[in-house]
Amino acid sequence: MTAALEIRGLHAWYGESHILHGIDLTVQPGEVVTLLGRNGAGRTTTLRAIMGLTGRRSGSVRVDGVEAITLPTHRIAHLGIGYCPEERGIFASLSAEENLMLPPTLKGNGGAGMTVDEIYAMFPNLYERRHSQGTRLSGGEQQMLAVARILRTGARLLLLDEISEGLAPVIVQTLARMITTLKAKGYTIVMVEQNFRFAAPLADRFYVVEHGQVVETIAAAELDARMPVLTELLGV
Binding residues vs ligand ATP (CB under 6 A): 14, 17, 19, 37, 39-45
Q: How crowded is residue 93: how many other Cβ atoms within 10 Å of its Cβ?
A: 9
Q: Which of ligand ATP, Mg ion, none is residue 19 near (CB under 5 to 8 Å by kind)?
A: ligand ATP
Minimum Å distance from CB 54 to ligand ATP?
8
Q: Which of ligand ATP, Mg ion, none is residue 45 near (CB under 5 to 8 Å by kind)?
A: ligand ATP
Minimum Å distance from CB 196 to ligand ATP?
13
Minimum Å distance from CB 17 to ligand ATP?
5
Q: Which residues contact 70 (CB under 8 A, 6 or more apart)?
A: none
Q: Which stretch binds Mg ion (CB under 5 A): 40-48, 55-63, 126-134, 228-236?
A: 40-48
Q: Are 76 and 33 in contact (CB under 8 A)?
A: no
> Which residue in the set 44, 46, 164, 195 belongs to the binding site for Mg ion (CB under 5 A)?
44
Minimum Å distance from CB 165 to ligand ATP?
9
Q: Are 149 and 118 in contact (CB under 8 A)?
A: no
Consecutive H or E run containing 69 = none
80 versus 212: smaller Cβ distance to ligand ATP: 212
Q: Which residues contact 223 (CB under 8 A, 6 or more apart)?
A: 200, 206, 230
Q: Are 166 and 143 in contact (CB under 8 A)?
A: no
148 versus 191: smaller Cβ distance to Mg ion: 191
Minimum Å distance from CB 110 to ligand ATP?
31
Closest CA to 157 of 56, 17, 44, 50: 50
Query: What sign does the dihedral 210-165-44-123 (CA atoms) show?
Result: positive
Q: Which residues of the shown chain bind Mg ion in the complex (CB under 5 A)?
A: 44
